[in-house]
Amino acid sequence: MKLPYQKRIFTPQNISFLLLFFCLSISIYVRLAPAYFPQAKAQAQRIITHRMQLKTAAAMEQKYPGYNERAKEKIVEDIIKEEQKKKEFKGLVRQEYRKLIRPYQDKDGHTYLLELDPYQWMRNTENVVRFGHPGTEKKENKIYDTYMLAPKGLEVVPIQFLFFCSAFFYKIYSFFFQHTPLVHFLFYLPLVYVSIFLTLLYFFSRRFFSRWGAFFTTLFVGLSEIFVLRSCVGWFDYDTLSMTMPLLIVWCLSLAFTSKGNWKRLIFYALCASFFQGLYTFTWIGWWFIFLIVIAAVVFITLNNYLIAQPRERVNRESILNIAGILIFFAGSIFFCFLISGGNLIKDFFTLLKDNLYLGDSASKSIWPNVSYTISELQAASIRTISNSLYNKSIAVLSVASLVWIYFKERRGENKFVIYSMVFWTVFMTYASFKAVRFILYLAIPLGFFLGWAIHEMGSLIRRKFSYNRKIRLFCVAAFAFLLSYLITVMITTGIKKSRTIYPMLNNEWANTLSYLKDNTPQDAILNSWWDFGDWFKALAHRRVIFDGQSQKGFLAYWMARAMLSTDEQESIRILKMLNNASDTTFSVLSRYVRDPFLAERLLERLLFLDREGGEKILKQYKVPPSAIVVILDDLHKRPGAAYFIVDKSMLVKMGSISFLGNWDFKRVFAAHNINSPEAEVRKGLEDIFSL
């Protein structure tokens, strides 16, 4: 007998809400691990249990030296079980737990922000709250961060949506809850961005297939280990917002292209998509990928329509709508890009596309080494790495098989724009993942989308095809239920397991050192070290740096590595003088008059080993004007302001990367840059420039 209220409770809307609520709840629970380190609780219990076992076993051995060993082990085991039930044992575990987590928390018991970049983004957000812009000063309508690339400073790039959005949320929060430090607020803010993204992903997927399919899509993306790592509490970074924007762009364009001749609807949603594209240029430096993908999808669909036998009138009508929609999107994107971020979308698109061609390569378009080549998250991924990051090989294969199935089933249907966009998205991000491992994060969205759609199709297939035979239907239902249970179990356990391996890089030892530097060095001091620590120096010691994670240019990285590797102390001091006096501008000044960059680099190498008079003589031979000679020689010989060099034991692990950069072979780079030149010309260049 059905109760009258059952129908009202289990409505499709309520079921959708419950499924979404479950996805959000488990995703937030998993991402909260770095706030309280549940793995440390288990570790503390093991430590106290082990100590108690040793103590009890020693007491038993002393009291009953000749007793049977197996019997003593059983007695010890029983005693430990009883002790674990007592308050004293639990108190010892709590004490050990606090001891284990104390190095990763500040004096208020809050976990430090994770990694390095979040401290720079925290500074930018703090500057927005204080000054209304993310820099430390504003000159001629340009925003600068004077703590970066000391002593000259650096113009803040127009990727600022994270800072303004986070500052907005913080001001709202502070209105109700005053005296909350910004760093503590930003620690938990990633949960808000994740909740927004997963909610949008669920309803985006729900539009194309069932709520259960959307549930698995959301779970697949939300609990993938690389997304958990880059969106848990403490990881205050671009990643979640950079995944949200392309989803909104594809969603809006799909609504535009399914308007069925409703021009108002088409124009409205195409403009919405272009708005989010413009906002995307203000959000993440990789914004250009989705712009390329959606245009390619429309072009491919339009050309494909003319190759398929179907009514010409229908093809022409659809092509007109597609071309009109993409032109509106194209024009609107140019407008909103300029309006929101102040950029030139077309120019920036080709610039970024060209720059990314060198991603994953040791060389760059300049003569200097590509520092990104030494960064772990920008290392090339293998197929195994990609499949393991998407849970395991079985689920990765299942998601790719889902893509193939849905593609062939829906490629000519009403939702073909979404299908082609997601397929191109998968292909693009697979290629990008082979160049840099961090792009696996963006690969999870289309694969999760196709997996959810395939699950929906499997359920529909079982209902339609096997209803005539009860036994076959039961078998298929059981197998399908087993598959779903397996997916849910693997996804949840993977997310939990990954979250319990996450610790902040910063610890109390570093925090105390940074506090000491803040209190005991001049305010205008420059801190010299490897680029990794630059964000900490700026955010916590409030001091300027040579370079950091956002400005580790090839020139700076090469010379700092040379200073560390050199066996000649005077050479190191001369290099550090150059960096502290002029940042990366010495080579720029020299290359204005010595046009060949390889010759300019060789000349700079010679100047490092000459006194001021010898350097002036050499520069005059190359017809460098007196004013530029004074600037260059001042960079090399003038005593800089207060500067400190800081080393850390972790730099031993990084010595491979430092050695790679500091031992950069300019001769081989010269040969590579001139690979299409005549051999005699290359030989002459090697002789003239490198004295070979």
> Please, where are the H alpha helices in 342-439?
345-356, 383-389, 393-410, 416-435
> What's the pLDDT score for residue 315?
76
pLDDT at 2 over 60: no
Sorting pLDDT into bands at 50, 70 and 90, what band is 4? low
pLDDT at position 238, please?
A: 93
Q: What is the mean pLDDT of residues 146-161?
A: 92
Helices (H) and strands (E) in the chain, counts: 32, 6
Whether 360 shows a pLDDT value over 90: the answer reads no
The lowest-confidence range among 54-68, 290-304, 441-455 is: 54-68
Question: Given this model, what pLDDT does residue 411 score?
Answer: 87
pLDDT at 179: 86
pLDDT band at 650 (very low <50, low <70, confident <90, very high): confident
CA gap 597, 400 in Å, rounded: 47
Q: In which band, very low, low, confident or very high, does the pLDDT at 9 lie, cut at 50, 70 and 90? A: low
- Listed range (116-130, 344-358, 418-432) with the worst mean pLDDT: 344-358
What pLDDT shows up at residue 280? 97
What average pLDDT does the segment 635-647 reach?
92
84 band by pLDDT with thresholds 50, 70 and 90: confident
Is residue 144 scored above 60 in pLDDT? yes
Beta carbons within 8 Å of 589's beta carbon, 6+ residues apart: 628, 631, 632, 635
Alpha-carbon distance of 299 to 570, in angstroms, equals 61
Average pLDDT over residues 241-263: 93
With pLDDT > 90 as the criterion, what percentage of the chain qualifies?
Answer: 67
pLDDT of residue 436: 87
pLDDT, mean of residues 453-479: 83
Check: CB of residue 553 under 8 Å from CB of residue 584.
yes
In 132-238, where does DSSP find H-type helix?
Answer: 161-176, 182-208, 211-222, 225-229
- 372 or 40, greater pLDDT: 40
Q: Taking 90 as the threshold, does the pLDDT of residue 88 lie above it?
A: no
pLDDT band at 151 (very low <50, low <70, confident <90, very high): very high
Is the pLDDT at 245 greater than 80? The verdict is yes
Q: Residue 468 — very low, low, confident or very high, per pLDDT cuts 50/70/90?
A: low
User: What pLDDT is recorded for position 8?
Assistant: 62
Mean pLDDT to the nearest integer, 337-342? 93
Sign of CA dihedral 6, 8, 11, 17: negative
Structure confidence at residue 118 as a pLDDT band (50, 70, 90): very high
Q: What pLDDT sits at residue 440? A: 93
Contact 119, 539 (CB under 8 A): yes
At residue 22 the predicted structure's pLDDT band, cuts being 50, 70 and 90, is very high
Position 453 pLDDT exceeds 80: yes
Q: Which of 194, 213, 208 is nearest to 16 (CA)?
A: 213
**Tokens linked to 265:** 């609807």
pLDDT tens, 26-44?
999 999 999 999 999 999 9
Q: Which pLDDT belongs to residue 552? A: 85
Q: Which residues make Cβ contacts (< 8 Å) with residue 538, sequence separation at least 6? A: 119, 120, 123, 147, 148, 544, 545, 548
Of 629, 584, 570, 622, nearest in space to 600 by CA: 622
Say which range, 204-218, 300-314, 532-546, 630-644, has the weakest mean pLDDT. Answer: 300-314
Among 66-75, 295-304, 647-656, 678-687, the range scoring the smallest mean pLDDT is 66-75
Q: Residue 294: what pLDDT?
A: 95
Q: Which tens digit of pLDDT belongs to each residue from 167-218?
A: 999 999 999 988 899 999 999 999 999 999 999 999 999 999 989 999 999 9
Q: Is-above-0.75 flag for pTM?
A: yes
Task: Assess whether pLDDT exceeds 90 at residue 312.
Answer: no
For the chain, give the mean pLDDT. Answer: 90
- Note the pLDDT of residue 548: 93
Give the 3-state secondary structure of residue 528: strand
Least confident of 109-118, 295-304, 470-479, 613-622: 470-479
Is residue 58 pLDDT above 90, yes or no?
no
Q: Which of 220, 184, 186 is nearest to 202 (CA)?
A: 220
Q: How confident is the model at residue 380 (pLDDT cuts 50, 70, 90)?
A: confident
